[in-house]
Amino acid sequence: MTNFKDKVVWITGASSGIGEALAMAFAKEGAKLVLTARRREELERVKQQTALPAANVLVLPLDVTQLDQAQPAADQVIAHFGHIDIMVHNAGVSQRSYINDTDLEVYQSLMNVNFFSTVAITKAVLPHMIARKSGHFIVMSSVAGKIGTIMRSGYNAAKHALQGFYDSLRAEGYQHNIKVTTICPGYIRTNISLNALDAAGDKFGKMDSNQATGIPADVCAQKILNAVKTDKKEIYIGGFKEVAAIYLKRFFPSLLFDQVRKNIPE
């Protein structure tokens, strides 16, 4: 079982939602944190709330879509702490728009945030982990990484891409003692729907009812830590409906497809 005491954990999307909850959970375990998001003031707030010694938290503001900044950021983390034990790919943005209405640029933005940013940072961190023969990637996919749903086409596509890429990394990394845990949350009580992109790339600005009644972010974070401690390869976190949908697709795909097409978003 993994002990997180003094482990260096880099979390993207750390300023809110699941990322913030993960920062708190790792802090309670005595980890050293690197907090990344675009808003420095929010990262500083999270840093204060962890109650960790200042030397144990590096605030590292970064727009993850600036792919050429991934390597300098990784170099800065290694210069500060000496190494990286756990890389948490949590930054992401959802979508609320129909395919026929959605600008191509919106799809490019969704892929940049949800997929290419993780690949860029992984490519920056991976050689360091291979040299140390140690490392763990925690990848925030989604139930949407397993099932395509209405008004989520670009988000679904990006999360499906994450699944394939990090399944490959898990296989390739095995010989170097590098692990991958893929997280597939369902409805978690965060602002993800408020910040989702609409057809023109603007913020959707509405709270989904399923999101509002979802699992609290801190409960989700603890489940993630438990999965990493026990070296789970992939976990599903959500209510009965979301998790059941994954198994329906596996064993009764036609039934699942019928249900999805009838599930018109509010």
Residue 3 lies in a domain: no
Determine the Cα–Cα distance for residues 57 and 76; give it in Å rounded to an integer: 13
Domain of 107 in residue numbering reads as 8-240
Q: Terminal CA-to-CA distance of the chain, rounded, Å?
A: 42
Q: State mean pLDDT over 162-167.
A: 98
Contact indicator for 191, 218 with CB cutoff of 8 Å: no
Q: What's the 3-state SS for 54-69?
A: HHHEEECCCCCCCHHH
Structure tokens that stand for 263 in this block: 């599930």
What's the CATH number where 174 sits? 3.40.50.720
Residue 259 lies in a domain: no
Written as one letter, the residue type at 241 is: K
Written as one letter, the residue type at 70 is: A
- Per-residue pLDDT tens digits for 98-137: 999 999 999 999 999 999 999 999 999 999 999 999 999 9
Residue 254 lies in a domain: no
Residue with tokens 């003031």: 41
The pLDDT mean for the chain works out to 93
Residue 133 lies in a domain: yes
Statement: residue 257 has pLDDT above 80: no
Please give the pLDDT value at position 249: 81
Please report which confidence band the pLDDT of residue 1 belongs to, taking 50, 70 and 90 as the band edges.
low
- What is the domain count for the chain? 1
Statement: residue 13 has pLDDT above 90: yes
Residue 178 lies in a domain: yes
Please give the pLDDT value at position 124: 98
Smallest CA-to-CA distance from 86 within 15, 43, 135 is with 135
Which positions are annotated as active-site residues?
155
Residue 258 lies in a domain: no
- Per-residue pLDDT tens digits for 33-56: 999 999 999 999 999 999 999 999
Please state the φ and ψ torsions of residue 45, each to the nearest 5 degrees. Answer: -65, -45
Residue 60 lies in a domain: yes
Determine the Cα–Cα distance for residues 171 and 150; give it in Å rounded to an integer: 32
Please state the φ and ψ torsions of residue 98, each to the nearest 5 degrees. Answer: -80, 150
195 against 264, higher pLDDT: 195
Please give the pLDDT value at position 97: 96
Burial of 151 (0-12, 13-18, 19+ CB in 10 A): buried
pTM attached to this predicted model: 0.93
Written as one letter, the residue type at 112 is: N
C-alpha triplet 49, 129, 182: angle, nearest 5°: 65
Contact indicator for 4, 26 with CB cutoff of 8 Å: yes
Q: For residue 150, what is the DSSP state?
A: T
Q: State mean pLDDT over 237-265.
A: 80
Statement: residue 264 has pLDDT above 80: no
